[in-house]
Amino acid sequence: MDDCKSQTQVHPGESINSVTPPRNNHKQISDILSRRMEKGQKSDLESEYQVPDNSKVQGLDTSGFEGTVDSLQQLMKSMEVLLSDVEQLRSNCSHQATELMRAAVDLRQQQDELKESYSELSREMQEIMDSVDDLFTTKSAFEAKEKQVQKLNRQL
């Protein structure tokens, strides 16, 4: 019987007669319990596990539950509104992200165009500087020749 006590459980709301012991000992335990009941003895299981008194359940005050239900319903409505707001924000953010991506692409194109323009202007500026240097060199050479001509004219 000690093996049966360690393996059998009585849950609240169950009587000892409704407990289902392990299947292999079911017949033996049933016979032992019925013999003890006939003799008027309480079984070890009945004395160890008290059957709960469910007569007090009928007078249970459920008014607090109604307030809780109302609170939970309000919470659910608030959560639905928040979820709707989150979905709207997600949609707005997605739209703005798309616009920002387009703007970034446009800015990259403009940057590339400006780099190209800068390179072209730099080349042109270098050509102008080279031309100015050539002109100064030519001017200096021309002035030197002119001085030489004047010297020769004086000598004649």
Contacts of 12 (CB under 8 A, 6+ apart): 52
Cα–Cα distance measured from residue 137 to residue 145, given in angstroms and rounded to the nearest whole number:
12
Query: What confidence score (pLDDT) does residue 66 get?
Result: 72
Query: What confidence score (pLDDT) does residue 10 get?
Result: 47
- CA distances from residue 126 to 53, 129, 131 in whole angstroms, order as listed: 105, 5, 9
Query: What confidence score (pLDDT) does residue 88 get?
Result: 97
Tens-of-pLDDT digits for all 156 residues of the chain?
444 444 444 444 444 444 444 445 556 666 776 666 666 555 555 555 555 666 665 665 666 677 788 889 999 999 999 999 999 999 999 999 999 999 999 999 999 999 999 999 999 999 999 999 999 999 999 999 999 999 998 887
Cα–Cα distance measured from residue 110 to residue 118, given in angstroms and rounded to the nearest whole number:
12
Give the length of the chain.
156
Per domain, the residue ranges of the chain are 2-51
CB < 8 Å & 24+ apart, contacts of 127-130: none
Query: What confidence score (pLDDT) does residue 8 get?
Result: 46
Query: What confidence score (pLDDT) does residue 22 get?
Result: 45
